[in-house]
Each structure stands twice: as structure tokens, then as C-alpha cells.
Chains A and B, each alone.
Chain A
């Protein structure tokens, strides 16, 4: 039995390590899966205007049925990505940018922006961004830029949907 003492101690130490490594990797893995799932629809660095969430929605957990979501899964491997958000006829809209660890790198809503368009360049540290452009620096190469638009009444969705399609996401080259 004594021959197992040190191997068991090693197992205990590695169980502790395994627990913390798995915990740390969990968000990155789930964020990666979500980013990939959205990118399957329109590809990376493109804006996808999702329909209003129903019980059929499975792309993201806990979708809000009161919000219209437009999402851009971005990949900064080949340089920064430009996001333009067009104002929409809704009482609330916002742009939030999440890195691969699920941290919010940037959030701005229509009230902050005075209901004016929002333009930002998502870039990794060190990637050059044109002068005068707001740079949002993120760790890692992938993530999601998400536009949320409050739809107070589903009857208003048509007008909001038409207006939000002026928002875009594209590689800055």
C-alpha cells in the first residue's frame, strides 16, 4: 500500500490543478463555441441581425425576448475590425464588445451616444488603428460585438429591423 502513497499524493495535487484549469478554461471554451455558432451563419467580421428570440432560439442562453440582437463574431488575426452602429427608432440600444474570456471591453448605449451613430475599431494591443478612430483593445483574437435594441412592442419590430440593418461590421483593411 505504501507504494501507492506518493502516486496518490500526486493524484490529489493534479486533481486540484485540474479543477482550477477546467474552471479557468470554461468561459473561453463556451465563448469560443458561441462565437463559432454565430459565425456559421454569416462568417466572421460580419453583422448578423437575429430574429426576435423565441423558444426555438438556441444560439445563446438566456436571450431576452424584449431585445433585438445583432451580433458580429470577430476575428482579429488579420487586423482590426470596424463596427458601425446606426441609430434606430427605439428607446434603448447599445453596443457591447466581449473578448474571448467573456469580459466586456466596451459598452455604449444610445443615451451615452446622444442617439448618434457609434463607430469603433476593435483591435488587439499593438495593432494600428487610423487616427481619430475610437479603438477598443481586446485580449485574444476572437470575440463578439453585440448590438441590443429594446423592442417595446413586437409590432414595432419591422421598423426597427429595417433600421438596424444599416449597422455593419467588417475587417479594417
Chain B
């Protein structure tokens, strides 16, 4: 009988992603201020204010670390798709908890207001645009870091222990990560600029819209160059991801249309369609890719 592939028995490389996420979480937390309502609730339970304030900075970082450790423990031995869902769910809870404790990036609105004029209070679509933008920029920076530094960055971002072949990043592969990082970050900038354009005065909208268009165009160009360099398997992942997104978005749009007719859902504008598409595509392409590739491609949207 022919010899066939057997499970690799090479020693695993230790992933330091939990530590890295803890450090990144601490840096993000440092940009925030305690949420007034949550602080009032905690002090209302009899907790002294200084302790409550300190706890609201410390607890979110602990939540991130604990969420990842629980994800690792629960996901052990399970398929990659299941592990991806576990990390996404637990990470989502940790993120929600962080948002409950702190108003993050409190200085950013002032900086943007200096550039584009005062910002109106964000509505639901603007909140989603900001969240997506921040997520894409963060992912873009992470992936871009792999492009710049290579293997040490992969080890630092890898949540689980991995095969050496998964952690290895060759010089020729760094370009792919760099382009992918640029594509993600510019998509994030486009989302944020679109949010700004919807929050500034009508006379100030031209600037943010131009920024959004230029960033969006750069993202498309980066994705196209990436696609041109992909081989058949990588292209199949992209196609599978977009096919899954198309099904979800079509079903979602159909359901929304029905609910809107019954007066149970508000009308949705072009920005709403855009954020829905980007959100679903991010999830679908990451899930499809991670299911097939395992640890090698957990770093964002492939194209």
C-alpha cells in the first residue's frame, strides 16, 4: 500500500498572541475615559469612586486575556471554523465589556473636529462605520506589521501554538502581507471618513468624502494587485468567501425588505448597504479562509 500523508509531529512554535492582545488592549484602554453611566452604577453599589475608576481600566484588559485563554481551552482539538467562532464570540464579549466600561479614543473626535469642523452626535450607521473603520485599521496594522517584520510578528500575533511552517514568513511573502495590510487599513480609513462626512456640517462634507473615495480606491487597487498574485487555492478562498457573503446579504436584504414593508424595520440608505456588505464580507472571507487554511491565514480579509 502506498505511503500517505500523516499528521505532522514537528514541535509547535509557541504563540504569544494572548500576551500581545493584552498589551494592545492596555494601550487601547489608556486612550479611554470611564463611561459616566457605568461609573454611576458601580459607585451606586457602594464601591468607592477611585476603586471603580481603576477597575474600569483594569477589568477590560483582564477580560480580553481571559476570553482568549477560555477560547484556547474550549477550542482545543476542535476544527478551525469552530475555534474561529469561539474566538469571535468571546472576543466580541470582551470588546462589548470594554465599551461598557470606557469611552475609547476620547481625544480623537477633537482632533477630527480641528480638521473638519465640529461633529454631530453619531447615529447607528455612523457608529457601525466607526467600529468597522477601527477594526479594519487595527487589522491592517497587524497584517502590515507582519509584512514589515515577518516571522516575529506572526509569533507575536498567533493566539495558539502553531506548526513552524505556519509561522514562517518568507521575504517574498511579506509583500502579500504588506499589500493586504494596506488594503485593510485604507478600507478602515474610508469607513471612518464616510462617518465623518455624515457627521460634519453640509458645507464641510466635500473634504471627508474625497478622503473616503481616495482611501476606497487605494483599497480596491491593493485588493486587485493581491488577486493578480494569488494562486488557484487563494483565489478559491476569496470566491468562496464572497459567495457566502452574497447568500447572507441576499437573505438579509430580503428579510429586511419584508420587515420594512410591515413597518418593523427602518429604511436603509446606501451607507447602510455598504456597511452591511463590508461587515458580512469580513466575517465570511475570514471564516472561509480560516476553515480551510487553519492557522496560516487568520489575519484578515484575503483580498
**Do A and B interact with each other, yes or no?**
no
